[in-house]
Structure 1
Amino acid sequence: MFPEFSERTLQPQNIGKPVLYANPQTSPARYFGLPKTTLVEFRLLTQPCTIIRESTLQMTGLVERAAGNPSSDSRICYVGSAGTGKSHLLLQTVQHCHLQKWVVIYIPRAYATVDSTTTHVYDLRTRTYVQPFFSWQLVQRIFSTNQAILDTLTTTEKHDFGKVSVEAGQPLQELHRIAETDKYFAPQVLEVVLAELGKQKEHPVLLAVDDFQSLYGKTKYKDPHFDGITSYHLNVPRLIMEYAGGRKSFARGAVFGALRSTNTQFPVSNDMYMGLGLDEFEEGRAWSPYQKQRKSVREYLDGMVPLHVPEGLTATEATGLFELWRQSRAMAAEAGDSTFMAAYTQSGGNPREFVWNGIMKSFATPPLEVDATRPFPQLTVMA
């Protein structure tokens, strides 16, 4: 139907062309999951597809330069107005790095680390709160997605986990086995796995986080006194923020994040706007000298570079997106040029508006009747 998303198709002459995410059984999205809106779109399409945009080619250039340098030199955050395609661009980044034999760590719903849906326990060793179940899930997904690469790597030093230890030179799978045996050690195992991945230079490492802004605001977790726990006192958010802020680094690799301004529970905080150096009026916001500022949060953004995703689709890109939905038979048979022009004009080129309030209005069956709880047959949903 469409050519595959690959290095061969990621060329300037293919801007606006629809491409197919092939081999879903080995895709990182199968294990890590997808953002909700992306998941629903893929259910409506016959297969997971995307289009090549100018920003896609810009991303490939960033990935190419990051492949040989420490991740502390390549820390990018996709920013822009709601519906501009930041999550899709981040997914393209993940897929591209996976095809380039990177070690991929993808967190499509970062709010799940701070919304108090998994257990947390106070750890006397680190004086922070650890999240054993979420840490175990993340370790599982890292090893499942990157099994072929991780099977070739060994530990560089001895690691102790209570009465159990892993000697230097042992396969990294031994760390996975410890997390499987006792989930209590999963937070420590997760930290050790990332540290070991950071030392090796055979394969670059990508840490990609969607809903990135949720890590830099208030969390839903409470301490025994029912006071709110800050995100950097929880082991998973803190670990991500340390790599995002450059406190920890992979010897080769990059850290990519994407903001989601439509998340009302975890909106983009003032500290994140200031930390990224964003214009205070980008989202109709205005600063006040009375607004509380947290320097400790902004330190975890030090050196992260905002990359603005284009506000709208070009005519070529919009044509390709329309063709993608038309050939997928997700539109009414009579939809044609008039439908395209109406959708493109009314949306102002905004990708989400173009699809949801433009193209989807031509559906024979309203999209609201789609069961959003039904799992996609080839992709799993991240808890």
Structure 2
Amino acid sequence: MPVTYPIVGMVGGGQLARMTHQAGIPLGIRFRLLAASADESAAQAVADTVLGDEKALGDLRTFAQPCAVVTFDHEHVPTEHLRALEADGIAVRPGPDALVHAQDKGVMRERLAEIGIPCPRNRIVADPADVAAFADEVGGWPVVLKTVRGGYDGKGVWVVGDTEAAAAPFRAGVPVLAEEKVDFARELAANVVRSPHGQAVAYPVVESIQEDGVCREVIAPAPDLSEERAVEAQRIALRIAGELDVTGHLAVELFETRDGRILVNELAMRPHNSGHWTIDGAVTSQFENHLRAVLDLPLGDPRARAKWTVMVNVLGGDYPDMYPAYLHVMARDPGVKVHMYGKEVKPGRKVGHVTVCGDDLDDVRARANHAADYLRGSITE
């Protein structure tokens, strides 16, 4: 009997590709990876790994040729290369017209304004003097400056309090977006998945807790979020997915302001850190649903399995070998689920995550944070 299971190609060798590959194994989906080096997180686990540069069209074409569909671990593939793949007859999901809204913050803000999605006040600025003028427009300093392309995990983002500080982002010679600094109560994330034929599902809205611009902890569902606000956040995410014709997983990072508004902060058109909890805490993980979507299969149930699920990122610390800590973590709490990415430990780097589910939020948070802190080496008992 001929093998009919499709090959899904994923560009990028990080932990998102690693976990997407893992989700496809029970489904029999074949997985092909384009990675920069053999020691990248996903390349360690995926047998069919092609080493190459996604910015080199020849490498991208060679990788994509046997794939039923190509999708992404990150947003850094040049738009013109994606159009070339489509011209070659290869399905690219999300497509270049959608993905550009996750690649270019200026394009994203302009499009969201056109469709009436609430966002912080913003505009492209030309120089530090223009930043000062923008600060006057939005009620004064500080303001947030972002490079329109390439930023992530706090990189490419500056909170500036005067014209002198505003000079730093312009030194790279790339366009800069200025945004008002929102007085938010907390950060939320709405994760949705959409198929080419228009089916879509929405996961419970989560609270995301940041540390130095990096996600530290995710609580699902977001505590004390009214049903009205949760539905509003899901509707915003589903509308964005439909209007931008997104295929696959879409993460919409949100601010909940102190006066009760919901504002869109960032978009990611791929599996996302705010959805890692779904591996252990949802009926169908974000990774499996992303695969289902890009293959245009019926989507899986996004509902939570437990009252509360807490995911805490394991950030690199002073201990490069975390394996000896497993004995304590697993013996102390058999309910902790540990996910490590095979990455070299560097201070502050995401090298894994832990997940705990349960009925008591305080207990679940304490257990998850203890496990992550012990693995990192910031506590010893």
Give the TM bin, normalised by the shorter chain: under 0.3
**Which structure has greater helix proportion?**
1
TM-score, normalising length: structure 2: 0.24
TM-score, normalising length: structure 1: 0.24
